[in-house]
Copies of this chain bind each other. A is one copy, B any other.
Amino acid sequence: MDVIDAVAPLRDRVAAARRASRRVGFVPTMGALHLGHARLIERARRECDCVVVSIFVNPLQFDRPEDLRHYPRTLPADFEMCARLGVDVAFAPGTAEMYPADPSCTIQVGRVASHLCGRHRPGHFAGVATVVMKLFQIVQPDRAYFGEKDAQQLAVIRHLVRDFNVPVQVEAVATVREPDGLALSSRNQRLNAEERRLAPALYRALCEARRSVAEGTTDPEPVRRAAVAAVPRHEGLRLEYLELVEPDTMQPVESIDGPVLAAGALWVGSTRLIDNLTCDPPGTGAPAGPVRE
């Protein structure tokens, strides 16, 4: 595996693969890799000839400086996992390589970012879209892999690619969960034992929404209320949002007559966790039980 920290040699390396007509797969990450990332990489490995993983903690997408400061960084272990999974190139640039100067041009994200995390983390998705657009230009992959755990991010990237005709195929990979339902996230590392015990509350609330939709409730408000009520009252838990949205536009639905996305953000102590589940009304999509994830 090649470890590369600068744009020019990364481009040369990928260009060589492309000249050999090899399909390039790309997995952009912020490091602190876990089994969820492994699934993205494994999928890229199966589908592509040359797999590039980027590891870059992008300051542009952090709305809170302390979140950026405390974001877990585990570079040696990340490289080890990449090598074990057969990654061809790990691209780990520093901030000065990615942003040699304050950028004059950035991506502005409109409607798709008006709810959920977009509403609660101003500038977050503009930062995500800007760095992903940069990485797409640097790596020029044929396919890029994103986790469904970050559903709104995935929607933003789909819009970015569509709106700018970026020549890359976006692939979504299912969320990986702990046995108790907690979605894998680099931020889970920051939970203490008590917080870890409380953390699956978000998943359980989303399951409640899914159950209610599967039973045929078409008004989103009672679905939402039932899900919110499923979060236990506990001083260590604060639900930031829980909404039912249309999966492409990420806009709240007024009536449930097709698959909707239940998405939430839950503060567990000082750690903010997000999760989502697709909710299929009876007779649409996957069978209602056992429910799909």
Contacts and interface: CB of A to CB of B under 8 A. Distances in A.
Interface of A: 7, 11, 102-113, 126, 129-130, 133-134, 137-138, 140, 156, 159-160, 163-167
Given A103-B110, A104-B159, 11 more contacts: A103-B159, A104-B109, A104-B111, A104-B156, A105-B107, A105-B108, A105-B110, A107-B107, A108-B126, A134-B164, A134-B165
Contacts of A103: 110, 159, 163
Question: How many copies of this chain are found per oligomer?
Answer: 2
Contacts of A108: 105-108, 126
Nearest to A7: B165
A93 to B, nearest CB: 11
A105 B165 contact: no
A217 to B, nearest CB: 29
Contacts of A105: 107-110, 112, 129, 156, 159-160, 163-164
A119 to B, nearest CB: 15
Contacts of A159: 103-105
Contact of A133 (B11, B104, B164): B164
Nearest to A113: B104
